[in-house]
Structure 1
Amino acid sequence: MKKVLIFVLFLTLVASFGLFATGAAEVKSPSNEVTLYYSHSADWTDPLIKEFQDRTGIKVNLVGAPTGELVARIRAEKDNPLGDLLWGGGSDSYQVIIDLLEPYEHAHMNKVLAETRDPGNRWHGTSIDPMVIVYNPKLVSEKDAPKGWGDLLNPIFKGRIAHADPVRSGSAFMALVIQLFTMGGDNEVGWKYISDFVDNLERKVVGSSTLGFKGPADGEYLVGIAYEEGALRYVHSGANLKVVYPIEGSSKVPSPIAIIKNGKNTENAKKFVDFILSADVQSKLGDVHRRAVRSDVQLPEYMTPNEKLGDFYWDTVWIGENKDRLLNKWKDLIIGK
């Protein structure tokens, strides 16, 4: 009986070891890659991505597309996420998929401006992207040059304003919201301004947000609405362009990064977020005409200080909840309803 008991115990140990060994074989070794969905321009992001790869040895798989397309992709993949990170666009785009984003307290929380991140830490601003007005000084005199959003109603600009479609362009949507609220609000006054602005566009929009600054610089348009980074980059390349920070105000809109919930490479995604928000990377943003979000990084001298951008508060939650309604009103104005 004693021998039988010992034999049974022996078999049990062997079986247990076998199960353990099988389980150990199924544990995946740490991944050496991360998949990044991004909508930023490759000319300034690619060098940073290469630096991350060189520092960490982690391969970054890039999927580039407009922010709206990437958001739709994340929604479609929610049961089996193929991406690990979303980077680019405005915070309102992140708000509409907030439940599909992974909360993360990165390594630099005490150095990054609190107003540039989600209160639940599901997205984190990596730069501040105000909207500006641009004009071609060879075609527009200093006397007629726009100083603010209100000046875009000037008849001399009728049909000669380069502005992308807010339905397709995240930066154009930012401009719509900023114009609406700095010119009266989400009410009859604000929408009267937007209606008059659409009339001065002759109900025509350009095909890309980059034409907001390229169009006036090339002389195809007199003025344009543009994101600051693109406008400053064009100015510093020698283009016929002047940048105006609207007297009514712009906005300190954060351009975020977020970790996609249940992604396959979450730990590597966290490392990428820590990298992008590190002091040495943030200090390089001024070289590519972007505003850092760290309190310990100074803006370049050529940039207008943050405090002079106006005090319009970009309410990400409200804007996310009302985005479809705002865009539907815009579409009605464009088609003349």
Structure 2
Amino acid sequence: MNTDSVSRRHALAGLAGGAALLAAPGVLRAQTKTVAVYTAFVDAVNALAPAFTAATGFTLETVAAGSGELIARVRAEAARPLGDCVISIGGEGIDANSEAFEAYAPAGIDAVRADIKVSDIWSPFSVTVPAVLCVNADLVSEAETPTAWADLADPKWKDRAAYAGADKSGSALIQMLQIVHTAPSDEAGWALFEAMFPNFIVTGSSGAVPRGVAGGEYAVGLTLEDSAQRFIDGGAPMRTVYPTEGVALSADAMALIKGGPNPEGARALLDYVVSPEGQALIVGNFGRRPIRDDVAAPANVPPATELPVNNPDPAWVRAATPKYRELYLALARA
């Protein structure tokens, strides 16, 4: 999102959000039972808060924004951090700014699927399919529905396709990288994205994409599987498309902010998220896939074995992220 939306003081009794700034550093450091969470998925943090508070005694205070904005905030506050941890953001941004974070292996990390533990700095929060298409079924017929990433380069989608923007949204960055990765070469992949981009309406917010498709503002959008599924479950006239070139099955990230005012509380939160209880809450409330095999996957999404999974190599992602972010910024300014 373009501006921070902040919800404060989520204690056991209630989760009313409010637009406010975090308290001054001295105040936060005095409130040792409060964990300051920077998150791109504030609804999930809010849903975890009551049980986490009951289990640990810590309360949660959240700052909600897109992954890029949160990383920029952590960097700006590095001399005197206000946040304790980041939750549910793109891991690429954490890896690219590893000096601002502290490596931590949460309790229970050995139960996490080995294929999604790809960084020593951050831990998985949940498993996502971050790059799918959501299509408004009232605006797009079955015959017209795009089935491949390359379909969105067709001029007929101009001003009908929504994309959050790789400079504002971690999921949008992953979507761009997925398009590049699944092409026959990186050069061909970037050329495809360049051809698609003039058709896009850039929303600046990942949440605005499925919401706009569900409401008929856009015909199609690049989004996360679970974001689309929540609107479908709510009765929206939408369908999810897994592009034939391939989708990624990957994890969003959580990590400790180095020098945060409440490291004990932040570590407790990461421990809770990794636990079976925490994962069951995330799956049950939001349809995310779990990071552990001993927690049941959501019932309303296809099994991973039925998806055209085409995961990029983590080393390629780390090398490609700064390159294609810069190329994207130049493309967006043109």
TM-score interval for Structure 1 and Structure 2 normalised by the shorter chain: 0.7 to 0.9
Q: What are the within-5 Å matches in structure 2 for residues 200-279 of structure 1?
A: 200-201=199-200, 204-279=201-276
Gaps of 5+ in 2: 1-28
Q: What letter is aligned with 1:162?
A: A
Gaps of 5+ in 1: 1-27
Q: 2:127 matched to which residue of 1?
A: 128
CA distance in 1, matches of 2:230, 2:30: 43
Once the two structures are TM-superposed, the CA of residue 246 in structure 1 deviates from its matched residue by 1.3
Q: What letter is aligned with 1:141?
A: S
Are 1:181 and 2:178 matched, yes or no?
Answer: no
Q: 3-state DSSP class of the match of 2:110? A: coil
Tell whether the 8 Å contact from 2:169 to 2:204 is kept in structure 1 after alignment: no
**Which is higher, the Rg of structure 1 or of structure 2?**
1
* CA distance 1:95–1:317, change in 2 (3 Å): farther
Q: 2:322 matched to which residue of 1?
A: 324
CA distance in 1, matches of 2:237, 2:119: 41
Q: 3-state DSSP class of the match of 1:110? A: helix
Q: What letter is aligned with 2:268?
A: K
Over the matched positions of the two proteins, sequence identity in percent amounts to: 31
Q: 1:98 matched to which residue of 2?
A: 98
CA distance in 2, matches of 1:100, 1:93: 11
Tell whether the 8 Å contact from 2:242 to 2:308 is kept in structure 1 after alignment: no
Counterpart of 2:295 (choices 294, 297, 306) is 297
Q: What are the within-5 Å matches in structure 2 for residues 152-191 of structure 1?
A: 152-187=152-187, 189-191=188-190
Q: What letter is aligned with 2:226?
A: E
* CA distance 1:70–1:192, change in 2 (3 Å): closer
Tell whether the 8 Å contact from 2:181 to 2:312 is kept in structure 1 after alignment: no
* CA distance 1:149–1:263, change in 2 (3 Å): same
* CA distance 1:61–1:140, change in 2 (3 Å): closer
Q: 3-state DSSP class of the match of 1:194? A: helix
Q: 3-state DSSP class of the match of 1:224? A: strand
Once the two structures are TM-superposed, the CA of residue 335 in structure 1 deviates from its matched residue by 4.7
Tell whether the 8 Å contact from 1:162 to 1:221 is kept in structure 2 after alignment: yes
Cα deviation code 1:33-68 (max 9, x no counterpart)? 3222222132x3212112111221112232222222
Tell whether the 8 Å contact from 1:166 to 1:173 is kept in structure 2 after alignment: yes
Tell whether the 8 Å contact from 1:39 to 1:67 is kept in structure 2 after alignment: yes
Moved more, 299-308 or 169-178: 299-308
Tell whether the 8 Å contact from 2:214 to 2:238 is kept in structure 1 after alignment: yes
Cα deviation code 1:281-312 (max 9, x no counterpart)? 21232221211111212212211222344443
Q: What are the within-5 Å matches in structure 2 for residues 52-131 of structure 1?
A: 52-120=52-120, 122-130=121-129, 131=131
Q: 3-state DSSP class of the match of 1:283? A: helix
Q: 3-state DSSP class of the match of 2:213? A: helix
Q: 2:33 matched to which residue of 1?
A: 32
Once the two structures are TM-superposed, the CA of residue 318 in structure 1 deviates from its matched residue by 4.0
Q: What letter is aligned with 1:331?
A: L
The TM-score, its normalising length taken from structure 2, stands at 0.83
CA distance in 1, matches of 2:217, 2:331: 24
Once the two structures are TM-superposed, the CA of residue 192 in structure 1 deviates from its matched residue by 2.0
* CA distance 1:205–1:247, change in 2 (3 Å): same
Q: 3-state DSSP class of the match of 1:62? A: strand
Tell whether the 8 Å contact from 2:95 to 2:119 is kept in structure 1 after alignment: no
Counterpart of 2:283 (choices 269, 283, 286) is 286
Aligned positions, number:
304
Q: What letter is aligned with 1:59?
A: T
Tell whether the 8 Å contact from 2:125 to 2:254 is kept in structure 1 after alignment: yes
The TM-score, its normalising length taken from structure 1, stands at 0.83
* CA distance 1:219–1:35, change in 2 (3 Å): closer
* CA distance 1:301–1:228, change in 2 (3 Å): same
Once the two structures are TM-superposed, the CA of residue 98 in structure 1 deviates from its matched residue by 1.4
CA distance in 2, matches of 1:214, 1:30: 36
Q: What letter is aligned with 2:78?
A: K
Tell whether the 8 Å contact from 1:34 to 1:60 is kept in structure 2 after alignment: yes
